[in-house]
Amino acid sequence: MSVKDPFEILADEITLIRRQIDHLQRTSLDRKDAEHLNSVVAESLDHMAKLTAGIDRSITSRLNLATERTRITATEAAQGAAEAAIEKSHARSLEAARSLSEAAGEARREAWRYFGGFWVWLASIGATGALLGALVAFWIGGTIAARDFGDHPGIFCGRAGGQVVKQSDGSSYCAVWIRKPDR
């Protein structure tokens, strides 16, 4: 047995009322029949009003649920994309640092082999200091860029590969950054 949809119930109630009105038009009513008909019509109208309110609440709750699921999915997707980008960038930085360290070690060994002495040692210390200085500058520059991105995501979103999306409630989001509307 299938459960009737609220709209089908409403249509059945309207059909029942039409049949009763047609029947009344064809027959003469006494006071008792008129009172009974009035109570049936009033009861049917109350039932229809309750069904309509229930339908409105059901539709509203389902729309709210769908909206919340969409927000959660978008947030999770943006977070996953950001984590993947950070991991990829970190791996590249580590690989570059390892490569530079190996190259510096090889250059130092070759220099000691061919030239030897204090001046080669002093030059290798200077090169190591320059390398460490470049890495520190790179690290500080990355921190400043990340802080600027956090302070102004709308400006840096495009450069980071994202896109600012504005929503109807006034909020906007980037593939990496989400700003909730003021309440």
For tokens 């509203």, the residue is 60
How far apart are alpha carbons 44 and 49 in whole angstroms?
Answer: 9
How much is the pLDDT for 180?
A: 63
Q: What is the pLDDT along the chain (183 residues), one digit of tens a residue?
A: 577 787 888 888 888 888 888 776 776 656 777 788 788 888 887 888 777 777 778 888 888 888 889 889 888 888 888 888 888 888 888 888 888 889 888 887 877 677 666 676 787 889 999 988 888 777 666 555 555 666 666 666 776 667 777 889 988 877 555 556 787
Q: What would the two tokens of residue 50 be?
A: 């309750």
Tell me which residue of 85, 88, 69, 89 sits closest to 162, measured CA to CA. 85
How much is the pLDDT for 39?
A: 86
How much is the pLDDT for 117?
A: 67
Amino acid at 61: S
How much is the pLDDT for 23?
A: 77
Dihedral (CA of 152, 155, 159, 165) sign: positive
How far apart are alpha carbons 159 and 100 in whole angstroms?
Answer: 27
How much is the pLDDT for 169?
A: 92
Dihedral (CA of 152, 158, 159, 160) sign: positive
Report phi then psi at 57, rounded to 5. -65, -40
Predicted model pTM: 0.31
